[in-house]
Homo-oligomer: A and B are copies of this chain.
Amino acid sequence: MISVGIIGGTGYTGKYLLEFIKEHEMIADYAVYANKSAGSKLLDIFPELLGVIEDQTIQSVSELSYNHDFYFVSLPHGESLKYIPTLLDKGIKVIDLGGDFRLDSKELYNEWYGFDHTSANLLSQKVYGLADVENTLISNSKFIANPGCYPTSIQLALIPFIKNYTDSIISISSASYSGSSGAGKSAKTELLLSELDGNIKAYNVNKHRHQPEIEQELTKVGMKSPFAFTTHLLPIARGIYSTSTIHLKSVIAEDEIKEKYLSEYANSIFVRMRNVPPELKWVVNTNFCDINISAKNKTAVITSTLDNLIKGASGQAIQNMNKMFGWNETLGILKQKEN
């Protein structure tokens, strides 16, 4: 049993960390630290959890306790940087749910995030925690950068293809659609229901911060082809749907491709290969990523979907924590009936 600190857990992802921790048999206790919400009661932030979790007062990050065995850090860009180096110095295990350590090079932070990375030495120490792809580094890691929501949906969709067929690929184009909770809980006119109801729009075209993250990781598994990535805002609160179109140099049989995916994910409990394009609602409120592949002539279309707040954030973070501590990876995030 461990004690967990949550730094910055008062946004949408925070709620799910709390829900998973409640179900988690290896977590004895936890405390929440925040900036603006410090001093508030947890149940004032999350009234829906009344009767579900015990209330507690949110503490100030400025008086952060280092007594917990493990920390989730869920802060805006540029903020995680302020706390993680100290935690690591003290030998405490950490998972960062933000983007401050996902990229490998200091230069990319200047270009895509617009800040000067003050702990660039840690970029090579983190393990990029794409939890559903076999990676023994995760189990041995003390510091995990939890992947972005879009990048999780696209990497899980493309990795088996790239690993097996990279030389056959002419180009890859991913169009991703996200619910509004991906933009966080901040009060912006453009995120009002009055603005978004029945609406949809592309945003950050050719400049979304998840693009270098995806390219960095897909290159590691062998991607050689040009890759493009476009993000859109949906008029719903939850979920991501990604459609990746691959133009091929020659025909590859759909059945053969499907075999490769099934083989790649044979031990991945949270990746569900589908025979039809998945529906977003199948994965909402779960830690699953559902994937379908359709190939015809020289075109392969891979659809993937996940809950941005769970598989794309808190659920994958719990899964990574489970792996770091050597526990069953489903603890807290999936209860399967034993027979």
A interface vs B, CB < 8 Å?
12, 22-23, 47-48, 50-54, 170-171, 173, 175, 177, 179-181, 183, 185-189, 191-203, 205-207, 226, 228, 230, 232, 234-239, 241, 243, 245, 247, 269-270, 272, 274, 277-286, 288, 292, 294-296, 298-299, 301, 303, 305, 334-337, 339
Contact = CB atoms under 8 A, between A and B. Distances in A.
A223 B289 CA distance: 36
Contacts of A48: 279, 281-283, 286
A29 to B, nearest CB: 8
Given A199-B279, A301-B202, A301-B228, A194 B285 contact: no
Contacts of A187: 187-189, 191-192
20 contacts: A48-B279, A170-B247, A173-B173, A179-B194, A179-B198, A180-B192, A185-B194, A192-B193, A193-B237, A197-B238, A198-B238, A199-B280, A205-B292, A205-B294, A206-B294, A226-B298, A228-B301, A232-B243, A235-B236, A245-B245
B175 A236 contact: no
A44 to B, nearest CB: 11
State how many copies of this chain the complex holds.
4
Contact of A51 (B199, B285, B296, B336): B336
Contacts of A335: 22-23
Contacts of A189: 185-187
B51 A269 contact: yes
Given A226-B247, A235-B235, A193 B180 contact: yes
Contact of A280 (B194, B201, B228): B201
A226 B170 CA distance: 10
Contacts of A285: 285
Nearest to A280: B200
A101 to B, nearest CB: 25
Nearest to A278: B201
Contacts of A183: 194
A234 B194 contact: no
Given A52-B336, A193-B192, A206-B299, A280 B198 contact: yes
A279 B189 CA distance: 14
A80 B102 CA distance: 52
A272 B292 CA distance: 36
Nearest to A338: B54
A195 to B, nearest CB: 8
Question: Nearest 10 A-B pairs (CB), nearest first?
Answer: A175-B175, A173-B245, A202-B277, A173-B173, A197-B237, A206-B296, A48-B282, A193-B193, A171-B247, A199-B281
A279 to B, nearest CB: 4
Given A54-B339, A192-B192, A201-B278, 12 more contacts: A12-B194, A170-B170, A173-B175, A173-B247, A175-B245, A180-B193, A183-B194, A191-B193, A193-B196, A198-B280, A201-B280, A202-B301
B288 A51 contact: yes
Most buried by B among A192, A195, A232: A192
Contacts of A288: 51
A250 B173 CA distance: 17
A29 B150 CA distance: 39
